[in-house]
Amino acid sequence: MNNQSSPMEQDSASMIPKEFRNLTRRGVWTKETYGVCEGYVQANLAIIPNDCALEFLAFCLRNPQPCPVVDVTEPGSPHPVMMAPEADLRTDLPKYRIYRYGKLKEEVTDITPYWSDDLVSLLLGCSFTFEYLLRAADIPFRHTGAYLSGIRCVPAGRFSGPMVVSGWIFKGKQAVRAIKLTSRYPVAHGAPVHIGDPAAIGIRDIYHPEFWHPPWPITIEPDEVPVFWGCGITPQAVAMEVSLPLMITHAPAHMFITDRLAQELAVL
């Protein structure tokens, strides 16, 4: 992994969320948010029509490891009152994706033209927060990718499908620390769903992740163990299948930065 960063990226790491969101609001920052506003919870965004919002929310609540709900707005409100009441979800993410009937139609940096009083926004915990927690605790890890697992999500109405999981490699002792640490943060996918043999949860080939392959080679040493967490790709993949007339999400890696510190939201 590349530890070099430009001066602007160094600044963005120590920026406060309000300041950073002001950059995205004005269209100044349209890049990815990895490492931005270090320590603050980052979130996936899913905006859907009101008439399926309860169903989709129920799906997320039934599958809290891949889909940790950190906020839900009222229909038509762009303000996530729990996570950042002053933020505007229509402008404060660097990039969005517009889907119609499950098909990607556009990538935009402002969704105001698409907004209506009928839309409900969900914010879901994200693995950038997860990675931050591991780095802050000085737990060495390698990300191996995002996999289609054989674990079935608990369905809710029309929403159902397999769980997508993310794979991470640790030395045994560090795996224990990672499990203890992440268990304290349900907002960042919480405890892992599996440790060890990938086949036991229906992963076809750990070296060939279906959803995301890291830019580095995947290797596992004999003293290392793979650990799998629920992945935020799950709700998006599941929602896509339902083919909603409109769904708006963040563009991959272009997350919403909340006002809440991860530390603040630890359960213990």
Site residues, its own copies (CB under 8 A): 50, 53-55, 57-58, 61-62, 69, 71-75, 81-82, 120, 154, 156-157, 180, 183-184, 186, 190-191, 267-268
Question: Which of residues 49 and 252 has its CB atom nearest to its own copies in the complex?
Answer: 49
Please tell me what DSSP assigns to residue 170. E
Question: Which of residues 67 and 218 has its CB atom nearest to its own copies in the complex?
Answer: 67
Question: Which of residues 124 and 206 has its CB atom nearest to its own copies in the complex?
Answer: 124
- Three-state SS for 179? helix
How far apart, in whole angstroms, are the C-alpha atoms of residue 125 and residue 180? 18
Question: Which of residues 5 and 116 has its CB atom nearest to its own copies in the complex?
Answer: 116
Q: Report the nearest approach of its own copies to the CB of residue 55 (Å).
A: 7
Question: Which of residues 59 and 147 has its CB atom nearest to its own copies in the complex?
Answer: 59
Q: Do the Cβ atoms of 50 and 120 come closer than 8 Å?
A: yes
Q: Report the nearest approach of its own copies to the CB of residue 56 (Å).
A: 10
Q: Report the nearest approach of its own copies to the CB of residue 52 (Å).
A: 10
Q: Report the nearest approach of its own copies to the CB of residue 213 (Å).
A: 31
Q: Do the Cβ atoms of 56 and 46 come closer than 8 Å?
A: yes
Instruction: Give 112's Cβ-side CA count (13 Å radius).
Output: 8
Burial class of residue 10 in the structure, from the number of CB atoms within 10 Å of its CB (0-12 exposed, 13-18 middle, 19+ buried): exposed
Number of Cβ within a 10 Å radius of residue 19: 13
**Angle at which helices 172-183 and 127-136 pack, to 10 degrees?**
120
Q: Which of 88, 99, 114, 113 is nearest to 24 (CA)?
A: 88
Question: Which of residues 70 and 203 has its CB atom nearest to its own copies in the complex?
Answer: 70
Q: Which two tokens stand for residue 37?
A: 């506003």
Q: Report the nearest approach of its own copies to the CB of residue 157 (Å).
A: 5
Q: Which of 255, 262, 265, 231 is nearest to 12 (CA)?
A: 255
Q: Report the nearest approach of its own copies to the CB of residue 64 (Å).
A: 10
